[in-house]
Structure 1
Amino acid sequence: MKPALVVIVGPTAVGKTKTSIEIAKAFDGEIINSDSMQVYKGLDIGTAKIKEDEKEGIPHHLFDIRIPDEDYSAADFQNDAQRKIKELHDKGKLPVMVGGTGLYIRAITHGYEFTDVAADPEYREKLEAYAQENGVEALHEQLKQLDEKRASQIHPNNVRRVIRALEIHHTSGSLESPTNQSEEESPYNLITIGLTMDRERLYERINLRVDLMMEEGLLEEVQSLYESGVRNSQAVLGIGYKELYAYFEGQCSLEEAVTTLKRNSRRYAKRQLTWFRHQMEVEWFDVTNGSINEKIPSILRFVAGKLNPESN
């Protein structure tokens, strides 16, 4: 039987952190970060990183493992996360992976091959970020500009194949793959939970979260990063940092920066939902009405059923 892996996905501000804690407590689990920004030390408020007193004694892994001026690729994450998952399985713990970076999650759940001929992980990450920021249609349009026939063979929502085609062209100058590409079966007994809510309600939560981040010291956090001399790194290109960098560089007022931050966060949440709905098989739980606490019992029953299917 395949080893179990719980994955919790969904847009920013929907309640993934609380859910991960409850699942880990119920099933003797430990939590693995799969958010590309939360790997960085010092990027706490802007990434909504879990606080120490919120962990409830549950071990957390792959948080704060890089300094802000270091790069960290999806291939790096794949290596680190696969090793950590095996380590947890070896000691009888249930790995619970939580986060919102689609490429990182797919790299684990379906084993992206980063050593393929014509592979370029950094370029692939740029395309993934572009898709989440600008939408799958905009990414597909890039492919269409290169080869309209090839683009017509790939649905815009099949982001994995669009990215692969663009990556192959980038490295080889051709849209033809030198190797046979196919969907790989996951090496895990995947238990994938998605949290969602009414878009208007989600956007309200995102706007409120940004206001709370500012009250908690986001401006000072970004100022410290800015004054340390970190520029053009992966860390400062993230939402919550690039907008305030524009303020510190005199490109906009603080009010304009916060407005842009809220807008970009809302857009990112929309991209996240689109990604997870089309790239993964997910059991969705709508948390629009009431708090996440009200959904926890049904989520725990779902996980229990997947871990012990013979008991159903």
Structure 2
Amino acid sequence: MEKNTLITVLGPTASGKTAFAAQLAYVLEGEIISADSRQIYRRMDIGTGKDLSEYTLNGTFIPYHLIDIREPGEKYTLFNYQHDFHKAYQDILNRCKIPILCGGTGLYIESVLKGYNLPDVPINPELRSALEKKSLEELTLILQNYRPLHNITDTDTKKRAVRAIEIENYKSKQESGATTFPAVESIILGLDIDRELRREKITARLHTRLQEGMIEEIRAILDSGVTPEDLIYYGLEYKFVTLYVTGRMSYEEMSNQLEIAIHQFAKRQMTWFRGMERRGFTIHWIDAALPVEQKIQMALSFVETGQGRTKSEE
């Protein structure tokens, strides 16, 4: 295979992406670039499922990028991600290694593969004021009216939905021009996990994380000075556990509602990936339940033949 080939590993939460990508990187002597919108933050470890131990195989450390690069509460835009991705991507290529993009944030993945033209969008106080009293459901409907379809995978809080509308509103008023970053050619591998198995894994993983210190992790971040609103902005675990820690929700309510939210999140992820296929990307789906050796063999067959190499155009 060519040294400048980008391999992309995607799939819904609890599909085993990290372990699979690390195994593939071990075989190919590659390096991983994270495509996770929350793993960029330091100290947000258990709730984001960083599983950093999975980057060491048989005593060999698998280098990773775009994990632990910002402090909780700091602003980080899609434009920032594109910039950081290309910096890491070029660094890996310069050292003649294989870059492997791995994650479940569909918009991050598609933005770098397509080369989205995304300016650094300023705050719009007037628009925010107009949207302030709308419900999350109303904001989601507004967001769905924009084309091309904006990613709604991570917009499970009003603050995130308002920011997404702000971005789309800004883009709709700009003249189209050349993309800021070039499209990137890639072999895309998707981990396909049975819906019921996915649900079982999500439930088991959530209970494990709650027992292994996720509440204490979030309480420590709050104690460090990060505001509850900033943590709630990150959604899912950080939203519901923060509501519990600050006394706005009981433990049972937090656990039950969080489990439902993660199941819904996984469903939205799959909807986004299927949408990528409709938008011209070829995704080679591999059964997540297969033995790791078989999954790696299937992945290598796609990578070595270059089958399904995709460079989608706007």
TM-score calculated relative to the size of structure 2: 0.77
Q: What is the one-letter code of the residue matched to 1:295?
A: K
2:183 to 187, 190, 196: 187
> Which one of 83, 108, 116 corresponds to residue 112 of structure 2?
108
Counterpart of 1:219 in structure 2 is 215
1:33 maps to which residue?
34
1:270 Cα offset (Å): 0.5
Shift of 1:228: 2.0
Contact 2:192 2:287 in 1 (8 A): yes
Contact 1:34 1:97 in 2 (8 A): yes
Does the 8 A contact of 1:32 with 1:95 survive in 2? yes
Distance change in 2, residues 1:189/1:299 (3 Å): same
Is the contact between residue 2 and residue 189 of structure 1 (CA under 8 Å) also seen in structure 2?
Answer: no
Q: Where does the alignment leave 5 or more consecutive residues of structure 2 unmatched?
A: 129-135, 153-160, 310-314
1:95 corresponds in structure 2 to 99
Q: Equivalent of 2:201, from 199, 202, 205? A: 205
Q: Which amino acid aligns with 2:190?
A: G
TM-score, length-normalised on structure 1?
Answer: 0.78
Relative to structure 1, the CA distance from residue 78 to residue 121 in structure 2 (aligned partners, 3 Å threshold; closer, same or farther) is farther
- The CA deviation at 1:2 is 9.8
Residue 296 (structure 1) shift: 2.4
1:214 CA displacement: 1.2
For residues 52 and 269 of structure 2, the distance between their equivalents in structure 1, rounded to whole angstroms, comes to: 23
What is the DSSP-based 3-state SS (H/G/I as helix, E as strand, rest coil) of the residue aligned with 1:96?
strand
Partner of 1:159: 149
> 1-side partners of 2:200 and 2:308: how far apart?
38
Q: Give the superposition deviation at 1:50.
A: 2.3
Match of 2:27, as an amino acid? A
Q: Answer whether contact 1:31 1:98 (CA < 8 A) is retained.
A: yes
- Give secondary structure in 2 for the equivalent of 1:240: helix
CA–CA separation in structure 2 for the residues paired with 1:61 and 1:72: 16
Question: Within 5 Å, which residues of 2 pair with 1:168-187?
Answer: 170-171=169-170, 177-180=173-176, 187=183
- Equivalent residue, structure 2, for 1:306: 306
Which residue type is aligned with residue 285 of structure 2? Answer: F
Q: Tell me the CA shift for residue 289 of structure 1.
A: 4.3
Query: Would the alpha carbon gap of residues 13 and 53 (structure 1) be closer, same or farther in structure 2, given more than 3 Å must change?
Result: closer
Secondary structure, counterpart of 1:114 in structure 2 = coil
Deviations 1:111-134 (CA, angstroms, capped at 9, x unpaired): 11123xxx73779xx9xxxxxxx8
Query: For residues 122 and 284 of structure 1, what CA distance do their matches in structure 2 show?
Result: 39
In structure 1, stretches of 5+ residues that fail to align are: 127-133, 145-150
Q: How does 1:1-312 map to 2 (within 5 A)?
A: 3-52=4-53, 54-56=55-57, 57-115=61-119, 120=121, 139=140, 141-142=141-142, 151=145, 159-160=149-150, 170-171=169-170, 177-180=173-176, 187-231=183-227, 232-233=229-230, 237-280=234-277, 281-287=281-287, 289-306=289-306
Residue identity over aligned pairs, in percent, reads: 32
Give a deviation string over 1:238-284, Cα, whole Å, max 9, x none.
32111011111211111211111111111110111101110252424
Give the length in aligned residue pairs.
281
Which residue is equivalent to 2:156?
none
Q: Is the 8 A contact 2:82 2:181 kept in 1?
A: no
Give the superposition deviation at 1:21. Answer: 1.0
Cα shift at 1:229: 2.6
- Please, what is the CA RMSD of the aligned residues? 3.5
Which residue in 2 is equivalent to 1:147?
none
1:28 CA displacement:
2.0
Give per-residue Cα distances to partners, 1:86-136, cap 9 Å, x unaligned: 111111011101111122212211111123xxx73779xx9xxxxxxx89x
